[in-house]
Structures are given as C-alpha cells and as structure tokens.
C-alpha cells in the first residue's frame, strides 16, 4: 500500500510542477474598456517573447507585442510575464495568442462590466430568505420561500425577565449570510454599509440600474430596494431596550439542502456590543440615504434614526459585550455552533457608528467619540474591521458636516490617500501587476473581499484626488477578481469563461441545476484551508479549489459580494462617464 501512496504523491507533485510550467494566459474574462489599461499575464514558459491579437471573426492580426521579462511571484512558484495591449482600443472580440501558450478569447467593450456588475448586485436577490424566488426574476433558479422566521425563539443566552428563554418573536426577511442559512447582524452591518456607500457615491448611475427583481420599476432604485429588504429584517433584531441580537440562527448548520426544507427551531441569541454598534451605524446611514425618498418610504428614515440612537445608548451602557460561543455554550442550551463573527475589539465599531450618527445628526456628542477613535490606525474593511466605513462617510459628507469637524475629515482623507499610495507602491513589484497581494496576509478566508475592498478604497482615493493611478489600481483588482490571477478563475459564478461551478452554497448544491446560482463571489485563495478539503495547490495565491466541500476557499458571502458590487459598478459608471 505504501508504495502506491508514494507513487501517487510523486505523480501528483509532478503534475503540479508540470501544470505550473505549462504556459497559460490569464486575463479578465469579463472584458476590457476601450480607453483603459489592458493586461494579460502569461504564466509558465511560453515558446518566445511575443504575443499577437487577432480579430475573432476575420483572424486578422490587429496587435503584436512583446512579453515582459519573467517575474517570480512572491506568493507561489508561478512565474509571470505581462502582455500589455492597452493601445488596442477598438471595440470587438479578439483572441490573444502566445506561442507555446495557445490562445484565449477577449473582448473590448464600452460597457465591459455591465453584465457582471449587475449580476453581483442581483446575487443578493438570490439570498433572500423569506420569499419565493419567482421564475420571472430567478429563471431556472426559482424556488419556494426559505425560512419564514415568523416564530423565532429567544435563546437562553438572550433571555431577560421581559423576554424569558423560549419567548417567540418575529424576525422575518433579510438575506442568508452565505452558503449557510443563518442571518448575522455583524456581517449584515458591513454589507449594508458597503452597498449604501455604492449608492451614495454613484447615485445617478444606480438610479437607472435595473436588476430584474420584483421591485424593479417602482419609485426606488433597485440597489435600494434590495438593501431595504435586509434593512427591514435588521430592524426586527433590535430589542425594546435598544440592544441588538447577534444573529438569527439554527442551533447547528443545516445540511446541504434547499432553504426551508428543514424546520428546526430558529433562535435569536445574546445581544452584543459589535452587533448593536454595527446596527446603529447602518440605521443612521440608512436614515440619511433614504431621507430623500420620504414619499415612497413614509416614516422609515425617522424610524431608522430613532433605532440608531437607541442602539447607541445601549452600547454606551454595555460597551464590552463580546459574543463568544465558548462562553455561552457551557452555560446555556442548546449549544449554538453556527458562524460566530465573534469580534472582541470594538474601537472600529465605535468609530463607524459615531461617524454615521454624526453625519446624520451633526450632534457634538458623536463628534467627541469620533475624535477619540480617530487616533486608532484604521484597517481595510472586513466584517470585524469597520472603521474605514466611517472614514468614507466623513469624506463624502464633508460639506454637510459642521465646520468644526473639518480637521477630522481631512485626517480621514489623508489616511485613505496614504493607504492608497502604499497599495500602488507595493503593486509595482507584484507578478500579476495587481494591488491584490500586498503581502501573504491578503490571502485569508474571503481573500477576494480583500481584493474588492482594496479596489473600493482606491476608488475613494480617486474620487478625492482625481489621480488616474488610483483608478488603474482599482481596475487591476477588478482584473484580478475576473481572471487575472494565479488560479485562472473568474471568481463570480456564472460569468467569464472559467468560473466556480461548485461553490459551498447550499441552494447551488441542492437545487439539481448544473449551473450554480449566478452573481456570487467565491471566497478565493486561502492557504489556511480550514475546511481540510483536498486542494491541488496550497500556496497563498493558488490555494483555491472549486469544490463544494471547501467553505474556506469556495463559499460565497454577502460581505464579499458587497465590495464587488461597489468596485465593478463604480468602474462601469466611471467608464461610462468617459473617465480616462
Ligand atoms: O484574527 C486573526 C488574526 O489575528 C490572524 O493573524 C489571522 C491569521 O489567519 O487569523 C485571524 O482570524 C481569522 C478570522 O477569520 C478573522 O479574520 C481566522 O483565522 C479565520 O478562520 C476566520 O475566518 C472566518 C470564518 O467565518 C471562520 O470563523 C471568516 O473571516 C468569515 O468570513 C467566515 O464567515 C462564515 C460565517 O462564520 C458563517 N457563514 C459563512 C461565512 C463565510 O464563510
Ligand atoms: O456550511 C458551513 C459554512 O457556512 C461555514 O462557513 C463553515 C465554517 O463555520 O461551516 C460550514 O458547515 C460545516 C461545518 O462547519 C462542519 N460540518 C460540515 C458543514 C458543512 O460542510
């Protein structure tokens, strides 16, 4: 037996090397904008140093170029050469040919990202929990409603005298978080903040963007209809004392079945500081964003603002309530073993909530907390790092804020620009010529959201400065997500020529349809491989497997889709404005 494994191992090792040596072309599979940079990467060993682009139909050669020197990647054993064809600006369908590497199709279009950008927003519709997805909107992925959550139990960890354990409450609606069927306030928080940011920064573009959802054609932009669907759920998660339950969840993850098939009890669990502050931030931002739709949404902005202020008050009284299943499970039944989102450090949540409440009310009390929290080093957004969302809100609302806050707003602006400069500097040595891959630490669980959030930050820097390099940096990460990466995948399901077909996404696994639900961003390379699945490659930028076993590299999640919505739609909007 042992010799057999030895043979298998040496054979596989050989395969890996062979695959890495074989020359392959990786590029953005969604397409390129005529006036913007266009780059493909050739990995492995091509037969020469030239590449050609031919028109798909006529086979006429329209471009010939030289590959760059080979550059070893810092995050895998891949070597990469750049094929730059930015000078080709004619719309059309082409093939890029590299002797020894074969050819790949590419397209150049004025609305290159329109389909995929709309698709990642539509992805949220497929995550809706309590309503049937009708054929008219969901096509072959139509399905009955999932969990109604109209009779959800107060878990013992959340019990008090007014609502003892077992009290039944309603908390319907909202998106499923990811490949699982639970609904988590912390992760909804960053997701909502990011989607509202997209609308705030590109309102004219989104005002007319249609995603074919049931509400399309009503008096609200589709992105707001979608976001408000989840907002209404979030509002039901607030207790009367202002505190917010951490999540609405099964005790344990459902099997790989369709939503709504299991009817096991659902619970709301312990109220916590992170959930309550994230809720405060979202509700305050919502109040500001939807105020102009008072006629369509009577009273909703006021309710949101009141809810946000109440949540803030609760957090002041409970500033350090961590949600920790290792603590609650020994104390209460049943054990809760679903996703934890167990943040322990709340400075950034205070910052974001204070920024949103300050922008919504102009009240000095929030400014005082903000001033304190601006002293911290702010991180790239992630579910446990939301301070940067506060910075985004400060800089975009500078004109509406009281004059005494100008210094603080400039601090936020400088910090965004400094971070953006660091990104561009590091990108200069990246083998794939992307901002993604600043260090090996970028390749975490959900690494594709790191790429998308870096892109979003660069677009903030672009909006603040007008400096074209920032726009190009953001574009490099869109290229990364859509195929110019060491795996060769376009990471959005249903788009590109090679995208995930087996995401860790229960409906995609259980619906009996070959194609996965479209418009969902896979988590991406993650050498942590916490799922213990089989990966053909294990280095930081290649540790990805298109296998539904792999929740650590191939799950989907709302907080990953949201920055992709921002990045891809913002680029589409800017390209349409003719930004050069
Ligand atoms: O905080 C440490 C950091 O100090 C350390 O340097 C780093 C090294 O890997 O690890 C950091 O912790 C990581 C943590 O996320 C914070 O980013 C853990 O390793 C990592 O395992 C953890 O992954 C999270 C995962 O749940 C497991 O808890 C993902 O970020 C998070 O996106 C994911 O979320 C799940 C939900 O629980 C359930 N629903 C699906 C969803 C997506 O997979
Ligand atoms: O499906 C779950 C996924 O959403 C989570 O991200 C992941 C990590 O918490 O867990 C998945 O569920 C798995 C569980 O952790 C272990 N048993 C198998 C479950 C499904 O693959």
Tokens of 114: 């329109």
**Weakest-pLDDT range from 10-14, 82-86, 455-459:** 10-14
pLDDT band at 212 (very low <50, low <70, confident <90, very high): very high
In the chain, pLDDT over 70 holds for what percent of residues?
A: 96
The CB of 555 under 6 Å from ligand 1? The reply is yes
The CB of 442 under 6 Å from ligand 1? The reply is no
> What is the model's pLDDT at position 280?
99
Q: Indicate if the pLDDT at residue 11 is higher than 60.
A: no
3-state secondary structure of 484: coil
DSSP 8-state assignment for residue 250: E
Measure 253 CA to ligand 2 centroid, in angstroms: 7
Q: Indicate if the pLDDT at residue 14 is higher than 80.
A: no
> Which backbone phi and psi does 345 adopt, to 5 degrees?
-130, 115
The CB of 446 under 6 Å from ligand 1? The reply is yes
pLDDT band at 7 (very low <50, low <70, confident <90, very high): very low
DSSP string, 3-57: HHHHHHHHHHHHHHHHHHHS-EEE--SS-B-TTS--EEEEES--SSSEEEEEETT
pLDDT band at 2 (very low <50, low <70, confident <90, very high): very low
pLDDT band at 12 (very low <50, low <70, confident <90, very high): very low
**Weakest-pLDDT range from 53-57, 78-82, 98-102, 169-173:** 98-102
pTM: 0.96
| CB within 8 Å of 555: residues ≥ 6 apart | 178, 179, 503, 504, 505, 522, 523
> What is the model's pLDDT at position 19?
46
Q: Indicate if the pLDDT at residue 9 is higher than 50.
A: no
| C-alpha span between 26 and 40 (Å, rounded) | 6
Find the largest Cα–Cα distance for the chain. Answer: 78
The CB of 560 under 6 Å from ligand 1? The reply is no
The CB of 180 under 6 Å from ligand 1? The reply is yes
> What is the model's pLDDT at position 537?
97
pLDDT digits (tens, 9 = 90+) for 256-280: 999 999 999 999 999 999 999 999 9
> What is the model's pLDDT at position 21?
67
The CB of 551 under 6 Å from ligand 1? The reply is yes
- Segment 471-476 long-range contacts (CB within 8 Å, at least 24 positions apart): 471/574, 471/579, 472/36, 472/37, 473/420, 473/423, 473/424, 473/427, 473/435, 474/435, 474/567, 474/570, 474/571, 475/36, 475/37, 475/571, 476/39, 476/427, 476/433, 476/434, 476/435, 476/436
pLDDT band at 579 (very low <50, low <70, confident <90, very high): low
> What is the model's pLDDT at position 240?
97
Q: Give the residue ranges of DSSP H helices in 22-168.
A: 114-126, 135-138
Residue 335, classified by CB atoms within 10 Å of its CB into exposed (0-12), middle (13-18) or buried (19+), is: exposed
Which ligand is closest to the CA of 340, given by its number? 1
Point out the ligand 2 atom lying closest to the alpha carbon of residue 506.
1
pLDDT digits (tens, 9 = 90+) for 199-210: 999 999 999 999
Q: Indicate if the pLDDT at residue 69 is higher than 90.
A: yes
Best residue for ligand 2 mutational test, from 253, 507, 553, 560 (most atoms within 8 Å of Cβ): 253
Point out the ligand 2 atom lying closest to the alpha carbon of residue 179.
4
| C-alpha span between 550 and 508 (Å, rounded) | 14
Which ligand is closest to the CA of 186, given by its number? 1
Residue whose CA lies nearest to ligand 1 atom number 16: 384
* Torsion angle, alpha carbons of 535, 536, 541, 547, to 10: -50
pLDDT digits (tens, 9 = 90+) for 180-190: 999 999 999 99
Residue whose CA lies nearest to ligand 2 atom number 12: 253
Q: Which residues are catalytic?
A: 180, 504, 546, 555
pLDDT band at 578 (very low <50, low <70, confident <90, very high): confident
In the chain, pLDDT over 90 holds for what percent of residues?
A: 95
Q: Which residues line ligand 2 (CB under 6 A)?
A: 178-180, 253, 339, 551, 555
pLDDT band at 22 (very low <50, low <70, confident <90, very high): confident
Measure 445 CA to ligand 1 centroid, in angstroms: 6
Q: Indicate if the pLDDT at residue 536 is higher than 60.
A: yes
What mean pLDDT is reported for the chain?
Answer: 95
pLDDT digits (tens, 9 = 90+) for 400-421: 999 999 999 999 999 999 999 9
């Amino acid at each position: 037996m042992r010799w057999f494994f030895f043979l298998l191992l040496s054979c596989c090792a050989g395969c890996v090397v062979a695959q890495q040596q074989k020359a392959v072309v990786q590029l953005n599979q969604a397409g390129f904008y005529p006036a913007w940079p266009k780059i493909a990467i050739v990995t492995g060993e091509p037969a020469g140093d030239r590449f050609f682009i031919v028109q798909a139909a006529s086979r006429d050669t329209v471009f010939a170029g030289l590959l760059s020197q080979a550059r070893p990647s810092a995050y895998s054993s891949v070597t990469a050469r750049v094929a730059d064809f930015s000078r080709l600006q004619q719309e059309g369908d082409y093939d890029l040919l590299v002797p020894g590497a074969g050819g790949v199709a590419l397209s150049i279009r004025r609305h290159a990202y329109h389909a995929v950008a709309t698709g990642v927003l539509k992805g949220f519709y497929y995550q809706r929990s309590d309503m049937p997805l009708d054929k008219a909107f969901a096509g072959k992925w139509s399905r009955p409603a999932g969990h109604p959550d109209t009779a959800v139990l107060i878990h013992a960890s959340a019990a008090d005298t007014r609502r003892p354990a077992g009290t039944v409450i309603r908390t319907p609606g909202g998106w499923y978080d990811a490949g699982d069927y639970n609904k988590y306030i912390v992760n909804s928080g960053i997701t909502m903040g990011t989607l509202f940011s997209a609308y705030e920064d590109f309102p004219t573009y989104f005002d007319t963007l249609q995603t074919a959802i049931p509400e399309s054609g009503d008096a609200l932009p589709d992105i707001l209809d979608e976001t408000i669907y989840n907002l209404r759920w979030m509002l039901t998660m607030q207790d009367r004392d202002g505190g917010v339950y951490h999540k609405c969840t099964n005790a344990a993850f459902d099997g790989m079945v369709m939503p709504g098939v299991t009817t096991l009890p659902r619970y709301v669990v312990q109220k916590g500081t992170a959930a309550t502050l994230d809720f405060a931030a979202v509700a305050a931002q919502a109040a500001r964003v939807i105020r102009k739709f008072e006629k369509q949404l009577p009273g909703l902005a006021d309710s949101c603002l009141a809810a946000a202020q109440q949540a803030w008050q609760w957090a002041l009284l409970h500033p350090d309530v961590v949600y920790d299943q290792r603590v609650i499970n020994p104390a209460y039944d049943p054990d809760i073993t679903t996703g934890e989102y167990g943040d322990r450090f709340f400075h950034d949540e205070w910052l974001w909530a204070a920024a949103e409440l300050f922008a919504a009310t102009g009240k000095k009390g929030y400014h005082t907390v903000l001033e304190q929290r601006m002293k911290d080093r702010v991180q790239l957004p992630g579910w446990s790092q939301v301070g940067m969302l506060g910075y985004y809100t400060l800089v975009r609302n500078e004109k509406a804020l009281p004059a005494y806050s100008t210094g603080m707003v400039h601090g936020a602006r400088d910090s965004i620009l400094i971070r953006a400069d660091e990104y561009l500097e590091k990108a200069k040595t990246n083998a794939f010529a992307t901002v993604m891959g600043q260090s090996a630490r970028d390749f975490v669980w959900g690494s594709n959201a790191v790429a998308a959030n870096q892109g979003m930050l660069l677009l903030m820097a672009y909006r603040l400065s007008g400096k074209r390099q920032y726009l190009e940096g953001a574009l490099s990460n869109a290229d990364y997500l859509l195929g110019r990466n060491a795996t060769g995948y376009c990471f959005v399901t249903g788009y590109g020529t090679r995208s995930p077909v087996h995401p860790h996404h229960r409906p995609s696994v259980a619906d009996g349809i070959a194609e996965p639900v479209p418009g969902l961003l896979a988590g991406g390379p993650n050498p942590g491989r916490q799922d213990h699945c089989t990966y053909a490659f294990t280095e930081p930028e290649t540790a990805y497997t298109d296998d539904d076993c792999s929740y650590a590299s191939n799950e989907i999640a709302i907080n990953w889709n949201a920055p992709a919505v921002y990045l891809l739609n913002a680029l589409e909007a800017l390209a349409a404005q003719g930004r050069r």
